[in-house]
Amino acid sequence: MALVNAGVVVLDCAEPEKLAEFYKSLLGAEETEVTANRVEIEGPSGMRMAFRRDVNATPPSWPRPENSLQVHLDFVVDDLDAAERGIVGLGGRPLEAKDPAGPHEERGFSDPAGHSFTVRGALTPTAPKQG
């Protein structure tokens, strides 16, 4: 028997309403909970995310080496080029990161608040963490 019934990925940010809009559009999600300091969403596949207000939030520095990556979101897509155009259209930014060696086809982005995430093809193996 599991000790935990469900989980939610929570990102701290200065403006949870705006960040929730980005991820709602990215995932085709709906809001499930909205309070003054938190917005929670759920996508059609059941993926749940929440965005918690942190007035002192600063974006992570990854891929710069002085800070390690603490959380990594990995999304599977059918068409990398179409996904990239859509992400940038929503306000996401491509990350300039060194591509790992090998046949891995994935692309790094940051959301409007600076949290990093990767998109990869459905049949693409994930690359090993570099550094």
Phi, psi of 80 (to 5 degrees): -65, -40
pLDDT band at 102 (very low <50, low <70, confident <90, very high): very low
Which residues make up the CATH 3.30.720.120 domain(s) of the chain?
Answer: 9-53
Question: Model pTM?
Answer: 0.72
Evaluate if residue 24 carries a pLDDT over 90: yes
Evaluate if residue 78 carries a pLDDT over 90: no
My answer on whether omega of the bond before 63 falls inside 30° of 0, hence cis, is yes
Fold of 9-53: 3.30.720
What does the pLDDT look like over 8-18, one tens digit per residue? Answer: 898 989 999 99
Handedness of CA 129, 18, 24, 86 (dihedral sign): negative
What are the angstrom distances between the C-alpha of 27 and each of 19, 42, 64, 99? Answer: 12, 8, 27, 25
Check if CATH label 3.40.50.2000 holds for domain 62-125.
no
Which residues make up the CATH 3.10.180.10 domain(s) of the chain?
Answer: 62-125
Q: Which helix (H) or strand (E) holds 32?
A: strand 30-34
